[in-house]
Amino acid sequence: MSEKKFSILPAHVGVIMDGNGRWAKNRGLPRQMGHIEGAKTFRRIGEYAGNLGVKHISFYAFSTENWARPEEEVNAIMKLFGDYLQEAEERLQENLEKGIRLRFLGDRSRLTPELAAAMDYLENSTKDMTKVNLNLAVNYGGQQEILHSVKNIAEDVLSGKIKPDEITLETIGNGLYTEEQPPVDLVIRPSGEQRLSNFLLWQSAYAEFWYSDVLWPDFSEEDFDEALRAYEKRNRRFGGV
């Protein structure tokens, strides 16, 4: 597939995978079925974005607030996540050949040790890849991420490693889960909602937003193209004129 399909590509796309529950409800199915379909869409769109030449893409799978959902639903999402990790391990060689670097954004201390170990392993094994950077946010909250970075900086101030005056935007940004990755240029949110929901707050400071009524399990490659076409037409000023 040619990268020329678009004249400008966002360096980093954030995707809020919303609408799984409604997709299932519309079909009289349990919510979990929507997540199963949503996980398939995640794989499809992740691969498509990489083939188009999008270098960084972040998907929001589970927020720090999502623990409030019924246990059965939380367990179903964690199971899907575990399946994905297992598949990524099995396909590690293939992913390395494609130059895919995997990162998992979020606090893994509340996840099972098995999930956390698989996440560490995959991040470590793919850390030298540079072609496609695929991030999956699990037990992620943007405010919590900033807090985490600020606490680490406070420790560095306490130990004398850095002076308060030397703290810059980069100091905070480099302490986030996305570390040196570029800021988010485009946030895609399907399913009709128009909010950021604590997703990549710092990284999306100047992001363009694109919304759609399509529910995530139905989200297609054509929908992704439509978002990129809308992005191409945006006049980004970054606070200038």
Min CB(78)–ligand FPP separation in Å:
9
Q: Which residues pair with 187 in a beta bridge?
A: 14, 209
Question: Least distance to ligand FPP from the beta carbon of 101, Å?
Answer: 17
C-alpha closest to that of 146 among 102, 103, 203: 203
- Bridge partners, residue 189, by sequence: 211
Site for ligand FPP in 124-153 (CB under 6 A): 136
Active-site residue (options: 66, 152, 174, 198): 66
Nearer to ligand FPP, 29 or 205 (CB): 29
Instruction: Dump the DSSP string for 110-152.
Output: GS-HHHHHHHHHHHHHTTT--SEEEEEEEEE-HHHHHHHHHHH
Which of 18, 95, 135, 185 is flagged as catalytic? 18
Shortest distance (Å) from residue 190 CB to ligand FPP? 9
Report the residue count for the chain: 241
Is the dihedral angle over the CA atoms 233, 202, 60, 57 positive or is it negative? Answer: positive
18: contact with ligand FPP by CB under 6 A: yes
CA distances from 225 to 23, 98, 198 (A): 22, 22, 25
Note whether 17 binds ligand FPP by CB under 6 A.
yes
Contacts for 103 with CB less than 8 Å, ≥ 6 apart? 123, 133, 134, 135, 136, 177, 178, 181
The nearer residue to ligand FPP, 61 or 207, going by C-beta atoms, is 61
Q: Does 198 bind ligand FPP (CB under 6 A)?
A: no
Binding test (CB under 6 A) with ligand FPP, winner from 15, 32, 33, 42: 42
Residue in 81, 104, 140, 231 binding ligand FPP, rule: CB under 6 A = 81
Q: Is 218 a catalytic residue?
A: no
Whether residue 18 lies in the annotated active site: yes
Q: What residues make contact with ligand FPP under the rule CB under 6 A?
A: 17-22, 35, 38-39, 42, 61-62, 66, 77, 80-81, 84, 136, 191
